[in-house]
């Protein structure tokens, strides 16, 4: 079909279409030009890494000679200065914008950050405001020990350096001077302590108060708390539990040879403290009373099983718990096996639990418990979880004196 063969209505239709195409093209052109315009605007205003409003208002902009309120960023300021002026100001006007400085600081070590904070006010402010997201100093070991009677030593070690402070209780009385608190806090400032070791001294209410002040001031994180041979004679159960379970949030707790204690210190509420129930590793061993007798930890079957199966925590990666002498009944292992079979959520449970010095265990026959073997020194039971492919293996080993048994509970995936 040729154009000449078109009839009148077809011609009209073609004309209309051509007109339409022209119109579309012209509107397309205006669209493109307006996009060009808009994208230019977008580029001008673009700020890829905006600081949060609060922080940007706190951090002074690099020498705030703003020409145009829109051009608040260094880059646009520089171009707005014009080329002749640019030459003159180049020397002192090389500074990078705050968001870039922050980005750089994120990749620096704590020592480099310390020096960078001395460069100028702007840098110091950025580092101070954002210290939570910046590197921490790695302290390998922080020790609090009594070196000679009534002299407490605070000592912190990194991989290359060791700083010590001695503090004489005889000279200063119970109250540690603000100066000591300030000095120790400064020593620990913005650090992550791998091991906090408290060893061989009497922990008092005042001392706990001071330590809490130091930890708060210094804003530190702990990986592991080791408390060895510490006396709790002058410390209430509540203060003690708050101290280790709330103020020192660690991944691992290791308490050995705590003396002058009573069962209240290790009551059931300790196992509900934030730090303890989240920890990957908890060991409490050899707690003794003022009369040097063994202290029975005041935790019953229900509390301990809630703790082991992670009823009140959302933490994962809980690996071990090792308790000495808890007040559990002779049906603890049976209760554990039965409860394990029914437990719907094992994500938060502790994989391996060891409990020493418990009463001899009686394990009834039940649908969910399986008896493996029983010889004179050891009996073994297991139960399978209803919902997952895992099994709880319980071992009850007898000690020589026959009075106590040692219980091991292990969750094994099949």
Partner 1 sequence: MTATIELESVPFIQKFKLIASDNKTEFIIDEKILNQSAVLKEMMEIQDKSDTEITIPLNQISAECLGNVIKFCKHYEDSEPYLPPIGPTACLSRPSQSHWDMVFLKSLSSKQLFDIINAANFLNISRLIDAGCFRLGYMTENRTVEEIRRIFQESGDFSAVEEEQIRNEPLWN
The residues binding partner 1 (CB under 8 A) are 1-3, 6, 10, 13-14, 17, 21, 28, 31-32, 35, 39-40, 42-43, 46, 48-49, 74-76, 78-79, 90-92, 94-97, 99-100, 103-104, 106-112, 114-124, 135, 137, 158, 161, 163, 186-187
Q: Could you tell me the end-to-end alpha-carbon distance of the chain, in angstroms, rounded to an integer?
A: 78
Which of 100/362 has CB closer to partner 1?
A: 100
Tokens of 94: 């090389």
Which of 32/413 has CB closer to partner 1?
A: 32
User: C-beta of 248: minimal distance to partner 1 in Å?
Assistant: 20
User: C-beta of 254: minimal distance to partner 1 in Å?
Assistant: 24
Cα–Cα distance for residue pair 178/188, rounded to 1 Å: 15
Cα–Cα distance for residue pair 407/69, rounded to 1 Å: 71
Cα–Cα distance for residue pair 412/385, rounded to 1 Å: 10
Q: Which residues contact 195 (CB under 8 A, 6 or more apart)?
A: 140, 141, 142, 223, 224, 226
Query: Helix or strand or coil: residue 168?
Result: strand
Tokens of 400: 């020589």
User: C-beta of 276: minimal distance to partner 1 in Å?
Assistant: 23
Q: Round the CA-based radius of gyration of the chain to a whole number and report it.
A: 34
- Give the residue from 367, 295, 294, 382 showing the smallest Cα distance to 336: 382
User: C-beta of 296: minimal distance to partner 1 in Å?
Assistant: 41
User: C-beta of 319: minimal distance to partner 1 in Å?
Assistant: 20
- Give the residue from 184, 186, 193, 190 showing the smallest Cα distance to 109: 190
DSSP-derived secondary structure letter, 224: E
User: C-beta of 93: minimal distance to partner 1 in Å?
Assistant: 8
Question: Tokens 């539990």 belong to which residue?
Answer: 241
User: C-beta of 144: minimal distance to partner 1 in Å?
Assistant: 17
Which of 78/352 has CB closer to partner 1?
A: 78
Which of 114/380 has CB closer to partner 1?
A: 114
Other beta carbons within 10 Å of 360: 12
Query: Helix or strand or coil: residue 132?
Result: helix
User: Which regions of 41-111 does DSSP assign to beta strands (E)?
Assistant: none
Which of 148/159 has CB closer to partner 1?
A: 159
Which of 30/344 has CB closer to partner 1?
A: 30
The full 3-state SS of 232-298, as one line of letters, equals CCCCCHHHHHHHHHHHCCCCEEEEECCECCCCCCCCHHHHHCHHHHHCCEEEEECCECCCCCECCEC
DSSP-derived secondary structure letter, 163: E
User: C-beta of 299: minimal distance to partner 1 in Å?
Assistant: 34
Other beta carbons within 10 Å of 260: 20
Which of 127/232 has CB closer to partner 1?
A: 127
Which of 98/361 has CB closer to partner 1?
A: 98
User: C-beta of 104: minimal distance to partner 1 in Å?
Assistant: 4
Which of 73/254 has CB closer to partner 1?
A: 73
Which of 167/240 has CB closer to partner 1?
A: 167
User: C-beta of 67: minimal distance to partner 1 in Å?
Assistant: 14
Is beta strand 137-148 parallel, antiparallel or unpaired with respect to 320-324?
unpaired
Query: Helix or strand or coil: residue 155?
Result: strand
Tokens of 222: 């702990």
Phi, psi of 315 (to 5 degrees): -70, 145
Which of 161/342 has CB closer to partner 1?
A: 161
User: C-beta of 172: minimal distance to partner 1 in Å?
Assistant: 21
């Amino acid at each position: 079909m040729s154009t000449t063969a078109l009839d009148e209505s077809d011609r009209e239709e073609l004309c209309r279409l051509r007109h339409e195409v022209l119109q579309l093209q012209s509107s397309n052109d205006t669209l493109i030009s307006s996009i060009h315009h808009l994208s230019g605007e977008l580029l001008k205003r673009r700020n890829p890494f905006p600081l949060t409003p609060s922080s940007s208002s706190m951090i002074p902009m690099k020498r705030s000679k703003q020409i145009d309120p829109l051009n608040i960023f260094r880059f646009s300021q520089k171009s707005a200065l014009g080329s002749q002026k640019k030459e003159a100001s180049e020397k002192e006007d090389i500074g990078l914008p705050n968001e870039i400085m922050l980005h750089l600081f994120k990749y620096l070590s704590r020592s480099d950050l310390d020096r960078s904070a001395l460069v100028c006010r702007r840098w110091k402010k950025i580092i101070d405001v954002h210290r939570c997201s910046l590197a921490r100093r790695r302290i390998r070991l922080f020790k609090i020990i009594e070196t000679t009677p009534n002299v407490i030593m605070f000592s912190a070690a990194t991989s290359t350096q060791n700083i010590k402070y001695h503090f004489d209780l005889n000279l200063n009385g119970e109250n540690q001077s603000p100066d000591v608190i300030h000095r120790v806090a400064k020593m620990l400032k913005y650090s992550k302590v791998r091991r906090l070791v408290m060893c061989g001294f009497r922990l008092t209410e005042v001392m706990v108060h001071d330590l809490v002040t130091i930890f708060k001031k210094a804003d530190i994180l702990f990986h592991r708390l080791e408390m060895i041979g510490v006396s709790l004679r002058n410390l209430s159960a509540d203060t003690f539990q708050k101290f280790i379970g709330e103020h020192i949030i660690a991944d691992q707790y290791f308490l050995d040879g705590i003396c002058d204690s009573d069962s209240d210190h290790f009551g059931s509420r300790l196992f509900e403290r934030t730090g303890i129930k989240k920890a990957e590793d908890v060991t409490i061993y050899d707690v003794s009373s003022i009369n040097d007798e063994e202290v029975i930890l005041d935790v019953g079957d229900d509390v301990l099983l809630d703790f082991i199966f992670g009823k009140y925590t959302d933490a994962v990666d809980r690996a071990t718990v090792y308790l000495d002498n808890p007040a559990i009944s002779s049906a603890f292992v049976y209760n554990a096996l039965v409860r394990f079979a029914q437990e719907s959520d094992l994500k938060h449970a502790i994989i391996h639990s060891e409990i020493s010095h418990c009463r001899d265990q009686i394990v009834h026959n039940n649908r969910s418990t399986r008896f493996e073997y029983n010889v004179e020194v050891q009996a073994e039971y297991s139960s399978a979880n209803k919902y997952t492919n895992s099994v709880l293996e319980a071992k009850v080993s007898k000690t020589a004196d026959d009075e106590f048994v040692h219980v091991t509970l292990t969750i094994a995936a099949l």
